[in-house]
Homo-oligomer: A and B are copies of this chain.
């Protein structure tokens, strides 16, 4: 654990998990918030959530990177609109069409490069292994191996990869966020809508279930709420 005053780079998409990760890092660190827009369907809405959350925490050190190369490399329904987005619910042991190949390696590389420029001691990412949609780059084994690559591949050599949510359920993430006073109303999780959340994509279903498990209403609005 690093002490207050040392800054932490947090990857903040604007969704529920990265919001709670931000709230967690804010307890002991000066924040540097990084948002990456990579051509996903809801890029503008996510960026707005990022800006709202950064303002909520009074963070001055923010960086928004717009990248095009994941779209160019292709192969995902989150970006490629010719691949249908799955709305029939999360299945176990099936890698969904929304998977961006090796996406988290790109995001972490950006965060680590920025951390090295800033002299930050850690990079935080709100990845969840068990309760996620089965993306291989959300596994603890991946982050541990990547962390060792950071140790060997940077001049600083001591930038820590922090994955505080990795073994939490979506329900316990909501519980933790409430404890940390995370502003859930400012976050955005839906993969396809930008006004009211759709309520039927994997991300909406997981989020709605998590609030239900906590006997709470999600403060954002939904077009459909079958949970």
A contacts, CB < 8 Å to B: 63, 65-70, 72-75, 95, 99-106, 108-110, 112-114, 116-117, 136-137, 139, 141-142, 145-146, 148-155, 157
Q: CA A65 – CA B70 in complex, angstroms? A: 10
Minimum CB distance partner of A104 in chain B: B153
- The residue in A113, A114, A117 that gathers the most chain B C-beta atoms within 10 A of its C-beta is A113
Q: Could you jot down 24 A-B contacts, CB within 8 Å?
A: A63-B72, A63-B73, A66-B68, A67-B69, A73-B114, A73-B117, A75-B113, A75-B117, A95-B155, A100-B113, A101-B113, A101-B116, A101-B154, A102-B116, A102-B150, A103-B113, A104-B153, A105-B112, A105-B153, A136-B152, A136-B157, A137-B154, A139-B152, A148-B148
- The residue in A65, A66, A149 that gathers the most chain B C-beta atoms within 10 A of its C-beta is A149
Q: CA A116 – CA B100 in complex, angstroms? A: 10
Q: CA A148 – CA B153 in complex, angstroms? A: 14
| Residues of B close to A152: CB separation below 8 A | 136, 139, 141-142, 145
Q: CA A139 – CA B102 in complex, angstroms? A: 22
Q: A65-B69, A109-B109, A113-B73 are in contact. Are A149 and B142 (CB under 8 A)?
A: yes
Please provide the 6 A-B residue pairs with the shortest distance between their CB atoms, ordered closest to farther. Answer: A142-B153, A145-B149, A137-B153, A101-B116, A145-B148, A142-B152
Q: CA A145 – CA B142 in complex, angstroms? A: 10
Identical subunits present:
2
Q: CA A151 – CA B103 in complex, angstroms? A: 14
User: Is B102 in contact with A109, judged by CB distance below 8 angstroms?
Assistant: yes
Q: A148-B145, A152-B142 are in contact. Are A112 and B116 (CB under 8 A)?
A: no
Q: CA A207 – CA B103 in complex, angstroms? A: 35
Interchain nearest-CB distance for A117 vs B (Å): 4
Q: Which of B108, B114, B153 contacts A139 (CB 8 A)?
A: B153
Interchain nearest-CB distance for A86 vs B (Å): 15
User: Is B102 in contact with A153, judged by CB distance below 8 angstroms?
Assistant: yes
Q: CA A190 – CA B149 in complex, angstroms? A: 28
| Residues of B close to A141: CB separation below 8 A | 152
Q: A63-B72, A73-B110, A117-B73 are in contact. Are A155 and B136 (CB under 8 A)?
A: yes
User: Is A113 in contact with B102, judged by CB distance below 8 angstroms?
Assistant: yes
